[in-house]
Amino acid sequence: MSSVKVGLLGLGTVGAGTVNLLARNRDEIARRAGREIDIVHAATRHPDRPRACSTEHFRLTSDPFAVVDDPAVEIVVELIGGEGLARELVLRAIDNGKHVVTANKALIASHGNEIFEHARRQGVTVAFEAAVAGGIPIIKAIREGLSANRIEWLAGIINGTSNYILSEMFYQQRDFADVLAEAQGLGYAEADPTFDVEGVDAAHKLTILASIAFGIPLQFDKVHVEGITQIGSEDIAYAKELGYRIKLLGIARRVVGKGISLRVHPTLVPQRRLLANVDGVMNAVMVHGDPVGSTVYYGPGAGAGPTASAVVADLIDVTREINTDPKHRVPFLAFQSHALSDEPVLGVEEIETRYYLRMDAQDTPGVLADVTRILGDNGISIEAILQKQPPPGADHVPVIILTHEVSERRMNAAMAQIEALPTIQGRLTRIRVEHLD
């Protein structure tokens, strides 16, 4: 049987890693795919620059459209990133009848519905294991490994940069700004770290995970997103004292009879949970399904090797799909079918969860009584209170409260009333708490 012909868009670190991996494990890969996989055409902005891979076995061009229009190419691998040119190229590849493998989470999260509709019409596959959690085969695990389950919720550490920063803040008792600067020096954070530290990158990935887990359309704009820039080192210390770690989680949860909650925010996680112990740039996703219960998938969320691992696994899967008689093909994605669920995405005010509150209170009798009365009046019960010594020279003391489960709506009301107390200084810090059980 002839080899499968692949066109590659982008020859940066992941692109070169993909070329090298296909060469290095060539025989194994052919055995698993049922055919050899050959890159025949690749596009890069600067074809003349030296590369981290050999380029002698394929045509090299600076025109990416030459690759997606090449009649010999059966699968296009998109590794250029971004949403503009990448979208145009991927749609054109699909409309040319080619299958697509992409590592581009922003593209799938923001334009996936359009892309999958084109793919459905053309009868081609769009695979994107590399777009979420790098080397962890989480898309396959949810889509196939847990295919018999009804997924109830999932929660993931799906941004390595913010997890690295939170880990350093925890272990080294350092401040956010300090660690961020170091992470930028180490190459763990971009010069403009907004996408990572403000939760946007995690929201892209959560959008994709939720779509597969619940069979809903991609709805990136409905994800509630909060980053880690407001997390103080004191919050990390108080959380530890209470038995928790603070992690930036992407959470998708089916709220029976109401809809799907989609949110990215810093979260207190009990320190005994596996997710609480995922450190540095690593990623992990916990999935709770019926009847399986909870399973967790952990691994490197970025980097040339892990991403190439996922890209080539997708190439093998797509090759096996190509080997299949077209009239027996099952859509690669649940959401490539027509049967998308129309369950609504809930606003964050609809959720019910536990809360960590931190406030600066006047060091006078009766303040705690006012605060607890307001919480009680709003039907909020308290699990724990920490009242710390005032910092030297200060007349305000930090008060930390952990609550039991309550609706965000009630918590918003209670917080407004507490902030209005003359004995409370400034705004409250509110971090949601998830027990993940």
* Residues carrying an active site annotation: 205
Give the x/- contact pattern for a copy of itself in 314-343, rule: CB under 8 A. -xxx--x--xxx--xxx---x--x-x----
Supply 282's token pair: 């690593």
| CB 30 to a copy of itself: min, Å | 10
Supply 6's token pair: 């692949």
Half-sphere exposure of 168 toward its Cβ, with a 13 Å CA cutoff? Answer: 17
Which is nearer to a copy of itself, 28 or 63 (by Cβ)? 28
| Number of residues forming the site for a copy of itself (CB under 8 A) | 63
- Interaction of residue 217 with a copy of itself, rule CB under 8 A: no
Supply 12's token pair: 């940066």
| CB 311 to a copy of itself: min, Å | 8
- Interaction of residue 54 with a copy of itself, rule CB under 8 A: no
Which is nearer to a copy of itself, 137 or 193 (by Cβ)? 137
3-state secondary structure the chain: CCCEEEEEECCCHHHHHHHHHHHHCHHHHHHHHCCCEEEEEEECCCCCCCCCCCCCCCEEECCHHHHHCCCCCCEEEECCCCCCHHHHHHHHHHHCCCEEEECCHHHHHHHHHHHHHHHHHHCCCEECHHHCCCCCCHHHHHHHHCCCCEEEEEEEECCHHHHHHHHHHHHHCCCHHHHHHHHHHHCCCCCCCHHHHCCHHHHHHHHHHHHHHHCCCCCHHHCEECCCCCCCHHHHHHHHHCCEEEEEEEEEEEECCCEEEEEEEEEEEECCCHHHHCCCCEEEEEEEEECCEEEEEEEECCCHHHHHHHHHHHHHHHHHHHCCCHHHCCCCCHHHCCCCCCCCEECHHHCEEEEEEEEEEECCCCHHHHHHHHHHHCCCCEEEEEECCCCCCCCEEEEEEEECCEEHHHHHHHHHHHHCCCCEEEEEEEEEECCCC
Which is nearer to a copy of itself, 140 or 224 (by Cβ)? 140
Could you say which residues in the range 2-31 bind a copy of itself, by CB under 8 A? 17, 21, 25, 28-29, 31
Which is nearer to a copy of itself, 29 or 39 (by Cβ)? 29
Which amino acid is residue 2, in one-letter code?
S
| CB 270 to a copy of itself: min, Å | 12
- Interaction of residue 372 with a copy of itself, rule CB under 8 A: no
- Interaction of residue 112 with a copy of itself, rule CB under 8 A: no
Which is nearer to a copy of itself, 75 or 141 (by Cβ)? 141
Which is nearer to a copy of itself, 277 or 387 (by Cβ)? 277
123: left (phi over 0), alpha (psi -120 to 50) or beta: left
Could you say which residues in the range 149-168 bind a copy of itself, by CB under 8 A? 149-150
- Interaction of residue 57 with a copy of itself, rule CB under 8 A: no
- Interaction of residue 371 with a copy of itself, rule CB under 8 A: no
| CB 28 to a copy of itself: min, Å | 7
| CB 272 to a copy of itself: min, Å | 8
| 194 phi and psi angles, rounded to 5 deg | -55, -50
| CB 310 to a copy of itself: min, Å | 8
- Interaction of residue 240 with a copy of itself, rule CB under 8 A: no
Give the x/- contact pattern for a copy of itself in 294-313, rule: CB under 8 A. xxxxxxx--xxxx-xx-xxx
- Interaction of residue 52 with a copy of itself, rule CB under 8 A: no
Which is nearer to a copy of itself, 181 or 274 (by Cβ)? 274
Q: Please identify which residue in 52, 97, 114, 147 interacts with a copy of itself, judged by CB under 8 A.
A: 147
Q: Please identify which residue in 100, 103, 146, 165 interacts with a copy of itself, judged by CB under 8 A.
A: 146
Positions touching a copy of itself (CB under 8 A) are: 17, 21, 25, 28-29, 31-34, 129, 135-137, 140-141, 144-150, 215, 272, 274, 277-279, 284, 289-300, 303-306, 308-309, 311-313, 315-317, 320, 323-325, 328-330, 334, 337, 339
